């Protein structure tokens, strides 16, 4: 089976760009399951039920998130009601939402786990210990992991920690695609960061002049989502009958123009 993973979708430009690109992505890659990181879909920061449903309307199966998941309080109830939008599993257990899910796709039980890095981000438990516990309990034919982390070394370490135990580890959060995508020796596809789905004429999705003003003046910023030159970034993994990866292909394509 094939899994298509899409990196952090930033604001309405990212949502529109992914919607425009999805027909071609489906035709080219023929994915059995589509996973999208949606933690920046609502105005560039956070997620709402409305923006989640916009991703589901274009064929997304599971939405992962990250450190901005709780930015909009109105989403809390929705996170508790749905099993298709997940938040980092190593957040406090009483927080809204769940950290992993299992769905049926391509005739198989596909597990999806969301984790947050512990270096530079706030978590309740180390991601390495948390994922070990989940893997001992989860009933799935293959497992895909979104590791939403700040530090490159922590992401790379997670890839080696899970090599041979999950089909793929997709790094997210830093919005810049890395060049290390591959299948590790024991069969786990890995990339440090898949990048973002949003404007490349930006600083991580933000209008450049606003990001520069914040960095040069150290004053409280006003950030607006940039809209020009939207690209879709992610990865495609071919998963074998053993639940491990046979191949990894990075996705970096400009979004078709939208009217």
Q: Which residues are part of the catalytic machinery?
A: 68
Give dist(CA 244, CA 259) in Å, integer.
40
C-beta of residue 175 within 8 angstroms of C-beta of residue 194: no
Tokens at residue 59, please?
């064929």
Spell 45-63 as b/e; 16+ CB within 10 A means b: bbbbbebbebbbebebbbb
C-beta of residue 189 within 8 angstroms of C-beta of residue 169: yes
Mark residue 187 as left, alpha or beta (left: phi above 0; alpha: psi -120 to 50; beta: remaining): left
C-beta of residue 189 within 8 angstroms of C-beta of residue 182: yes
Give dist(CA 28, CA 31) in Å, integer.
9
Residues in Cβ contact with 55 at an 8 Å cutoff, skipping those fewer than 6 apart: 9, 15, 18, 36, 38, 41, 63
């Amino acid at each position: 089976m094939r899994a298509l993973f899409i990196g952090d979708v930033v604001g309405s430009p990212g949502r529109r760009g992914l919607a425009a690109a999805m027909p071609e992505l489906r035709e080219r890659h023929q994915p059995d399951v589509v996973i999208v990181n949606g933690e920046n879909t609502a105005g560039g920061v956070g997620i709402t039920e409305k923006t989640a449903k916009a991703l589901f309307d274009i064929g997304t199966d599971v939405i992962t998130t990250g450190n901005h998941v709780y930015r909009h309080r109105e989403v809390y109830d929705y996170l508790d009601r749905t099993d298709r939008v997940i938040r980092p599993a190593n957040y406090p257990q009483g927080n809204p939402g769940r950290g992993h899910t299992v769905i049926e796709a391509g005739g198989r039980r596909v597990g999806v786990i969301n984790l947050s890095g512990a270096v530079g981000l706030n978590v309740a438990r180390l991601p390495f210990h948390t994922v070990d516990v989940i893997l001992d309990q989860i009933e799935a034919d293959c497992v895909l992991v979104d590791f939403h982390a700040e530090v490159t070394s922590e992401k790379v370490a997670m890839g080696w920690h899970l090599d041979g135990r999950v089909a793929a580890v997709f790094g997210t959060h830093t919005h810049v695609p890395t060049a290390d995508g591959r299948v590790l020796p024991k069969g786990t596809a890995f990339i440090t960061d898949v990048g973002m789905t949003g404007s490349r004429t930006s600083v991580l999705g933000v209008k450049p002049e606003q990001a520069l003003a914040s960095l040069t003046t150290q004053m409280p910023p006003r950030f607006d989502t940039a809209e020009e030159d939207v690209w879709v970034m992610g990865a495609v993994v071919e998963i074998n009958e053993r639940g491990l990866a046979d191949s990894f292909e990075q996705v970096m394509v400009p979004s078709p123009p939208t009217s």
